Chains A and B, each alone.
Chain A
Amino acid sequence: MESIIQGKAYVLGKNIDTDQIIPAEHLVYSLSNPEEVKMYGKYALSGVPPEQAGLPEGNVPFVPEGSYASPYSIIIAGPNFGCGSSREHAPFSLKVAGAKAIIAESYARIFYRNCVDGGFVIPYEASQPLNKLILTGDELSIDMKNNTVTNLTQNVTYQLRPLGSVVDIVQAGGIFEYARNNDLMAKSEA
């Protein structure tokens, strides 16, 4: 897997719940039909109230009107990212829109698991409120080997928390790959 993730930052506040990431009315689309999958890119983060979308200025849509992909590939957020509904459609939609990684102060459990086990986007934890320091549109570079993120626009580097015990699943690309590698896919005693 690549060890550097580079891209533009999209900055959000705290408690971004999965209804804001992908509003419930869009959950009717297939996650496997390629034409319908595009809709998840189109509506990614469309539930965020406009004034809180793309901080610090706000009113910056994650996916431009009429588009199916986002120009931003690294999401920066405050605490409790992905709280609320368990919908895996949420990390899926971020991936479809083109996000590669999230750096939040903390995550809700189900969203975090979905990111890791589904291999959608890499959920890094910041050790300080980076959403107050990084601006939407800043060019960032995440060094996965050293657990750092460098803001190339502002020329400053921050430490990220190591991925910890889930690093093996992240590196495998998801729970199925991990389980196959480790001989864990046998059925349990039913």
Chain B
Amino acid sequence: MAQTITQKIFARAANRKFVDVGESVWLNVDVLLTHDVCGPPTFDIFKQEFGPDAKVWNPDKVVVLPDHYIFTANEHAHRNIDLLRQFAAEQELPNYYDVGTDRYRGVCHVALAEEGFNLPGTVLFGTDSHTCTSGAFGMFGTGIGNTDAAFILGTGKLWEKVPESMKFTFEGKMPEYLTAKDLILQILGDIGTDGATYRAMEFDGEAVYSLPMDERMTLCNMAIEAGGMNGIIAVDAVTEAFVKARTSKPYEIFHSDPDASYHSMYRYNVEQMEPVVAMPHSPDNRATVRSVAGTEITKSYIGSCTGGKLTDFMLAAKILKGRKVAVTTNIVPATVLVASQLETEMYEGQTLRRIFEEAGCNIALPSCAACLGGPADTVGRSVDNDLVVSTTNRNFPGRMGSKHAGVYLASPLTAAASAVTGKLTDPRDFL
């Protein structure tokens, strides 16, 4: 029987040859990811259910990356970091990346890739909805709650329903003004925030395979914004080169069978697409940037797991080089590595950091920061009636802080172009 790539990964993890769409199966978990917001309650449930002296099923497979509320004076947030530290010590977890040490990495989904935890063919569960980001590596990654994560900590297993798949094929050569963010916002506008609920979103086509891993991660990251269980891109030479440069662990490559069946198939030609935004207050509220150009904004924000990777900043630098921003513009590198790359990567003879500083941007320390609002002292948090253009992934009411603010989700090119004019601006005006 023909299977999709997601079915094949499920079958491997369930020790089966074939799994059928819609059946619930128990999966053996390769990696469990958690962070400072959901780690402490997960550990509480684990101890309550398995006993105070219980040991996790496999310490090597538990990855703890604090990233949400790091640079804040909030005492409760500090306590959550202490609880992670304590649990990691008790359980002797080798993959704990402590705050305030040189092991600190930053935003978990980006750090997982950097540290070589993303392996083709494997199953990753994480206590964060954007765990689907890792699907860019030809693997299954999805978000879960604390109870499910505690169950995995004790048993190494979890039940999951085999999802139906939707296929999104992007043909053509990527124009320089278009990014992965535009592609996923286009899809969201077409299928809505529940258009892929409980389904796999498979991305395919020459335009997708022309993208670097950073951009493929942006595509998969926002599968959850359509309600998707996972986003997935099959492995090619680009994936393998990235993985092999970071780990020597073995992995298995799967591809969808040519006759696999899909819930639906969508085809796009990227050469006919244009930069888009998601207007307040929903990621599927799509408009072309041209159609809303001139809308006043109060802030620009370039950061997060979906919009704070090196490629995002390279794109922003193309527009910000030699220009000044007209509104408060926050540059928030996802990880310590990305932050260091801002100092070393050049565009037209200047480091990215220098370009952003000369443009008048504020460069923040690596964490999730204001993508999800966060404690009151979080850098970039929206206030009052702010109108923010942001490379992040959600713009539901109150997401970046103030309940009265509005957020326009956009590509780093659009966020940079809009920062320069203080109004929503199509990046083609500057390229």
Chain A positions within 8 Å of B, measured between CB atoms, are: 15, 17, 19-20, 23-25, 27-32, 36, 47-49, 79-80, 83-89, 91, 106-110, 113-114, 117-118, 165, 174-176, 179, 184-190
Contacts and interface: CB of A to CB of B under 8 A. Distances in A.
Given A19-B372, A109-B229, A117-B151, A28 B399 contact: no
A79 B194 CA distance: 8
Interface string B63-104: 000001100001011011000000000000000000000000
B4 interface: no
B116 interface: no
Given A86-B127, A179-B151, A188 B193 contact: no
A32 B76 contact: no
Interface residues of B, number: 57
A117 B147 contact: yes
B37 interface: yes
B144 A23 contact: no
B177 interface: no
Given A84-B224, A88-B147, 9 more contacts: A17-B394, A24-B373, A31-B146, A86-B126, A86-B127, A86-B144, A114-B144, A117-B148, A176-B49
Contacts of A165: 24
A86 B143 contact: yes
Interface stretch (B154-162, B245-253, B297-305): B154-162
A84 B394 contact: yes
B18 interface: no
A187 B154 contact: yes
Contacts of B403: 47, 49
A30 B74 CA distance: 13
8 contacts: A28-B74, A30-B76, A36-B76, A88-B38, A106-B197, A108-B194, A114-B146, A118-B145
B129 A110 contact: yes
Given A17-B394, A88-B41, A110-B145, A190 B58 contact: yes
B374 A25 contact: yes
Contacts of A19: 372-373, 394, 396-399
Contact of B144 (A47, A113, A184): A113
A88 B151 contact: no
Contact of B227 (A23, A30, A109): A109
A48 B397 contact: yes
Given A23-B398, A29-B76, A109 B148 contact: no
